[in-house]
Structure 1
Amino acid sequence: MDFLALAESRYTTKKYNPNEKISEEKINQLSEVLRLSPSSINSQPWKFSIISDEKLKNELASVSFFNEPKIRDASHLVVFSAIDDVEKFEQQIKQNLPEGAVGYFNQFIKPKPEAEIKAWFGHQVYLSLGFFLSACAALGIDSTPMEGIKTEEYDKILNIEGYTTLFAVAIGYRAAEDANQPSVKPKTRLALENVVELV
């Protein structure tokens, strides 16, 4: 399937089949996709938690508002977190990035207020989301990106020091009766001429 066909068929899954699990091989592939995600200056200010343990998944589901049933029934839950410690980030890039990339950060990002620096970290994590959703579609895996979660509770449950939860993605395989799939509910988008301008 070409990429355009994947874009046409991919959708946000509303109901999962709890009896169908993603193979370890595919989870390993998705892990590598996340590692290879793009970010400005290759900054990589992130951490990804791929959760299959049912007890932990259910605990996170309980602090996820209306997304609870999706998380409970999905095969896995992937939590996307951004680094929350500017000093830790600076140490990371000094150890792993070339001088030019570090210089860019020091010149253009570091002088900004801390809230803006952390917002920049978050932007990089959102770049990885698009990459990840596309990879799921390519592997035949259904997905549900979710901001409707209690991020502070996620931080407590996962106990990830130096990072903060931004959003999560339930992944698995759709239930046959999922009413949101394109074969039941055709995908709608704004007209091409309203969103793309060829100059």
Structure 2
Amino acid sequence: MSFLDIAKSRYTTKEYNSDKQIPDGKIRELKEILRLSPSSINSQPWRFIFVSDEKVKEKLADASYWNNQRINEASHLIVFTAIDDIKYFEEQIKENLPEGYVYYYNQFLKPKGETEVKSWLQHQVYLSLGFFLSACASMDIDSTPMEGFNNEEYDKILQLNRYKTLFAVAIGYRNPDDNNQPSITLKSRLPLEQIIQSI
């Protein structure tokens, strides 16, 4: 299947088949794909938490407002977090990145201040989201990206230290009756001419 066909068939899943779990081999593959996600200056300011334990999933679902059902039905919930401790981040890049990359950070990003740096760190995690959703679709795994939950409660449940929850993705296999799938409800997108400009 071409990537265009994948893009046409991928959708945000609203109902999952709770009896069907993603095989361990595919989960290992998704973990490696996330590890290989792109980020500016290869900064990698993230941690991805794969949750399959039903008790932990239930707690997170309870803190997820209208996304509660999807999380409970899904095979796994992946929580995407960003480093929230700038000193810790600076130690990480000093240990792992080439000197030129660290120089770029110190000269062009750090002077902008803590708020701007944290925003930049979080933007890198959002880059990994697109990578991850595309990977899931290419592996016939359904997904639901979500921001509709209590982030602070997620941080407590997952006992995060130096990291902060940004968003999560439920993954699994769709319920055949899910009305949101393109074969039942056509995708709604703006016309290409309205959003693409060629110069």
TM-score bracket for the superposition, by shorter chain length: over 0.9
Correspondence for 2:122: 122
- TM-score when normalising by structure 1: 0.99
Aligned partner letter, 2:46: W
Q: Percent identity?
A: 62
Aligned partner letter, 2:45: P
Superposition deviation, residue 168 in structure 1: 0.3
Q: Quick one: distance in 1 between partners of 2:63 and 2:183?
A: 31
- TM-score when normalising by structure 2: 0.99
Q: Say which SS state the counterpart of residue 155 (structure 2) adopts.
A: helix
Superposition deviation, residue 115 in structure 1: 1.0
Q: Say which SS state the counterpart of residue 111 (structure 1) adopts.
A: helix
Superposition deviation, residue 63 in structure 1: 0.2
Aligned partner letter, 1:137: A
Correspondence for 2:72: 72
Q: Quick one: distance in 2 between partners of 1:8 and 1:166?
A: 27
State the Cα deviation string for residues 67-116 of structure 1 (Å, max 9, x = none). Answer: 00000000000000000000000000000000111011001110112111
State the Cα deviation string for residues 134-177 of structure 1 (Å, max 9, x = none). Answer: 00000000000000010000000001210000000000000011
Q: Quick one: distance in 1 between partners of 2:100 and 2:139?
A: 36
Correspondence for 2:188: 188
Correspondence for 1:3: 3
Q: Quick one: distance in 2 between partners of 1:145 and 1:40?
A: 22
Correspondence for 2:81: 81
The 5 A counterparts of 1:1-199 are 1-199=1-199
Runs of 4+ aligned structure 1 residues displaced above 6 Å come to none
Q: Quick one: distance in 2 between partners of 1:159 and 1:112?
A: 30
Q: Give structure 1 stretches of 5+ with no counterpart.
A: none
User: C-alpha root-mean-square deviation of aligned residues, in Å?
Assistant: 0.5
Q: Say which SS state the counterpart of residue 145 (structure 2) adopts.
A: strand
Q: Quick one: distance in 1 between partners of 2:43 and 2:194?
A: 33
Aligned length: 199
